[in-house]
Amino acid sequence: MTFYAAVFYVLALVILTASFLGVTRRQPVHAVLYLIIAFLGTAALFFLLGAPLLAAFMAILYTGAIMVLILFVIMLFRTSSRELGLMPQWKHAALLGSVFLAVAAAMVFKDPGSGTVLKAAVAQPKDFGLFLFDRYWLAVEIVSILLLVALVTVFQTARKRGAAGDKGRELEEHP
C-alpha cells in the first residue's frame, strides 16, 4: 500500500466516523462540530486527489457556512456551553481532529521526491466554472434554492422566538 492510499483510507475513515457522530448527536453544537471535521476531511480528500480548487471551496464555503450556523444556533437558543454539555464529549472530537491534523501534516510535509507519482489533474478555474454551469446548472440552482430556504427558515424561527419572548416579558412587567 502506498503512502497516498493509506492517507486516502485514513481520511475516508475520519469522514465516515465524523459524519456518523454528527448525525447521531442530540446537541446541535456537537453535530455541527463533527460535520466541520467531516467537511475538512473531504477538503483534504479533494486536495489529495488533485483538485485544490474544490478543496478550497469545501474548506472556505462549507466549513465557513457551518461556522456561521454554529453562531446562529448559539444566538438563537441563547444557551451557555455548560448547558449544552460540551465538555463530556470532547474526547471524540479531539481524537478525530488530531487524526485529521496528523494526516494533513503528513500530506503537506511529505517529500515530493519519494517515488510515488500521481497523475496530475489540472483544470483552470474558468474551465471548471464553464463545466459546472454548463452541465450541472440545475443542481447549482437547486442548491442555491435550498440555501435560501434554510436562511428564510432560520430568520422566521428567530423572529417567532423573539416575538414569543417579547410577549412573555410584557406579561411579567404588567401583571
Q: What are the residue ranges spanned by the domains of the chain?
A: 1-117, 123-175
**Is the separation of the CB atoms in 58 and 48 below 8 Å?**
no
**CA atoms of 137 and 39, how far apart (whole Å):** 23
Question: For each of the chain's 175 residues, which pLDDT tens digit applies?
Answer: 788 888 888 889 989 998 888 888 877 777 778 888 888 888 888 888 888 888 888 888 877 777 777 767 666 765 554 554 545 566 777 787 788 788 777 777 776 655 665 566 677 778 878 887 888 888 878 888 887 888 888 778 877 776 665 554 554 555 5
Rounded to two decimals, the pTM is: 0.52
For position 116, what pLDDT does the model report? 60
Which CATH code, of 3.40.1350.10, 3.10.450.50, 1.20.120.1200, 2.40.40.20, is assigned to 1-117? 1.20.120.1200
For position 141, what pLDDT does the model report? 85
DSSP state of 163: H
- Residue 42 grid coordinates: 473531504
**CA atoms of 133 and 108, how far apart (whole Å):** 32
Residue labelled with grid coordinates 466549513? 63
Helices (H), the chain: 3-24, 28-48, 52-57, 63-77, 81-84, 90-109, 125-135, 137-173
For position 171, what pLDDT does the model report? 47
**CA atoms of 54 and 45, how far apart (whole Å):** 10
For position 143, what pLDDT does the model report? 80
**CA atoms of 64 and 43, how far apart (whole Å):** 12
For position 88, what pLDDT does the model report? 56
